[in-house]
Structure 1
Amino acid sequence: MENKKHLTAEQSLALLSVLKERFEKNVNRHKGLEWAKIQSKLETTNPEKLWSLNEMERTGGEPDVVGYDKTTNEYFFYDCSAESPKDRRSFCYDREALESRKEHKPKNSAVAMASEMGIELLTEEQYRELQQLGNFDTKTSSWIKTPAEIRKLGGAIFSDFRYGNVFVYHNGAESYYAARGFRGLLKV
């Protein structure tokens, strides 16, 4: 049986080339980090991590390294596309919200697709960290990880960047909009 969450050697090389080029173009996102160490870790880690990065890339996320945790020896990749990833928009928040819709259901939910991709939605704190690296979501918005107490009440939260500020808003979790997607995090 073929593992669907695995890239061919050619796909891996192509992805690593794209990631390296993006890494070199955006040094402000990862000061003090070296691509050779990141590439080595990508090549020796679980092949599903490369597959997940490829899914982030394939859906328009433009993943890039934004940090490193010395205690866990993990690099953090965030979606760094200028706007919310184009192939991850028009989704409600989670599966429960999707199932609650009686009509006009979206194709998927942000939480379900992130899980299928092997990534996590950004938290509010992570979203704010991302915005320190540039201006993201100036025309779109992104669902972010919603605290359980808000979700229990039927809500979900999303963020964007307007008027020089990061805004965090709420909506019913079942809502979806053409300009709202989600950004992900992958730890490698």
Structure 2
Amino acid sequence: MSKVGEEFVAGVLDHLPSILAFTAPLPNSYDRIQPNTWSGAYQCWGKENREAPLRTACPPGIPNGFVSNFEIKSFDGCANPHLGLAAIIAAGIDGLRRHFHLPQPIDANPATLEGKLLRLPKSLSESLEALQKDNVLKELIGEKLVVAITGVRKAEIEYYSKNKEAYKQLIHRY
């Protein structure tokens, strides 16, 4: 992976708990982000690792070390792709600005490394808490937009807590 690519991906990895507030926008989104479901439940990256939330791949015929695919597994189908991409780009820019380095890729199932890797937020409330503490994303995305996103997400949390059957309407809504 190029130095620029590594720094960008390292920024995304660092801010991933906050990014989930954009890419996993509903309380139900976190039912999917569980260990052993190929959705990426731990804060790590891997090469060809289906359990890592950030995954890079180098297809056959591409020179070794050149990554042509970068996948974010915790991007929910209910997310606004523009907001999700904005959060990812902002996190990547931070990685470039601060010259982040990636840790070693995880090739094993992250669930088998319990205690060695951070678990990503298990709920929308946890990802909102991470976003509230993430001053870099607030600065790069804009505090007004982050305040609006936070308000909408809190309304979603309240709605789903009061309407236990609301998840059944999602298929018609999205």
Asked whether the two chains share a fold, i.e. TM above 0.5, the reply is: no
TM range (shorter): under 0.3
Q: Which has the larger strand fraction?
A: 1
Q: Which has the larger helix fraction?
A: 2
Query: TM-score normalised to the size of structure 2?
Result: 0.25
Q: Which has the higher contact order (CA 8 A, sep 6+)?
A: 2
